[in-house]
Amino acid sequence: MAVSARQVGSKSLSPTREYEPYLEAVWGLKNHWYPAAFSHELPDRQVKGVMIAGHEIALRRAKGKVYALADRCAHRGVRMSKKSMCFTDEHLTCWYHGFTYGLDDGVLKTILASPDDAQIGKIKIRTYPTFEKNGMIWVFVGDEDYKPAPIEADLPMRITSERDPNPIAYLLDDHTFVRGIHQTGNSNWRLAVENAFDPGHILIHYDNPLIVATDRKLALGWQPTAPEAIEVIDVPDGPKGIMNRYDTGLYNYIMENQVTGMKVYGKQDHYLRTSMWVPGVILVEHWPITHFAQYEWFVPVDDTHHEYWEVIVGRCNTEEEYREAEFKYINFFEPLGLRDFNGNDLFAREAMQDFYAEMDGWNREELCKLDSVVVGWRKLATRYNRGIQEPPTGARRA
């Protein structure tokens, strides 16, 4: 299933534009919830700056609650997160000239050295909705007047016993172990999403220590053999996703390539299943081990960077189970899984960046059978996004 570009005049065009909005989403999808920080990264009365889809955001915790405001002082435009200045539990003060804003509404409440200034009460910076649960902080990013959707609509759906006799834990449930890391990737967010959900990219992991040490029979690639192998999931008023149905017999597991002599060496079967959800979060069930799951977000930062969130989730009903999960996380999940195994994915995404950003890669790519899954994701994101994020004022378009 080769797909190539054609030329019209001096402009290169894809043979299909079924996912044109996705191709325009250089800066991400707007009006969605994105992870912004782990709870432990935001102590009380501290300010942390993040950038999501070009939005510069200052996070501040006061009396246990998390607030998010635009991270540019209206006065002279400095980023307020450059230096924490928090005098009360109701305000955020700019460290440069003392412009002080209300955490709830972003309205200028006072100026430290000009408390009777006429600008007080007239100037306002933007605020953003936040949500915090199980050690993670999310921010709803997009149009200021857009009513936020429930956060559950922007997370992978709950897996029930109808889909798996041993369903993994749901991220927002109580008694859930949630630990992870995040790091900045030097590629556009779309390349990161597609790398994670690409059933042909498993080759880059075949010799990874996690695979070799556990003797896992991880295929060189998973080739869908029928359209039904890929299920589009549309939960009313809820998550929108696409699932690789590995348990249906509709995939050809490539274990050997006779032309190259390459073959899989592992002996131990290991069942897992992947699904990708708008606005760009993958759920890998029963990974790195059975009964645990790995959530990964590919949060757009700007046109050439994404924040890569890697989170392990498991059900723990007792303190002993928490301690056991923590032991596995420290000694196995994070070093071998999140950092080493997933490090191969970061390397691969960054290797694609110049082709897509500078060499018209979105039109020049030559797709094959394996890429029907990637194309399915592109169509899903086109259909179910709540808007395409525009570049910030003055920013260049990739």
User: What is the per-residue pLDDT across 132-156, written as a single tens digit (0 to 9) for each?
Assistant: 999 999 999 999 999 999 999 999 9
CA–CA distance, 395 with 390 (Å, rounded to integer): 10
- With CA atoms as reference, report the closest residue to 357 among 308, 303, 394, 307: 303
* C-alpha dihedral, 200 to 206 to 211 to 213, nearest 10°: 180
Q: Averaged over 317-334, what is the pLDDT?
A: 97
CA–CA distance, 66 with 76 (Å, rounded to integer): 25
Distance between terminal CA atoms of the chain?
Answer: 27
What CATH homologous superfamily does 150-384 map to? Naphthalene 1,2-dioxygenase Alpha Subunit; Chain A, domain 1 (3.90.380.10)
pLDDT at 16: 54
Report the top-level CATH class of 44-128.
mainly beta
> Per DSSP, what are the bridge partners of residue 283?
275, 295
pLDDT at 8: 27
- The rounded Cα 199 to chain-centroid distance in angstroms is 18
pLDDT at 227: 83
- Spell out the residues 6+ positions from residue 217 whose beta carbon is closer than 8 angstroms to its own: 255, 264, 266, 267, 268, 269, 270
pLDDT band at 200 (very low <50, low <70, confident <90, very high): confident
Q: Is the pTM of this model over 0.75?
A: yes
Give residue limits of the domains in the chain.
44-128, 150-384
211-270 pLDDT per residue, tens: 898 998 888 888 888 888 889 999 999 999 999 887 778 888 888 999 999 898 889 888
295-315 pLDDT per residue, tens: 999 999 999 999 999 999 999
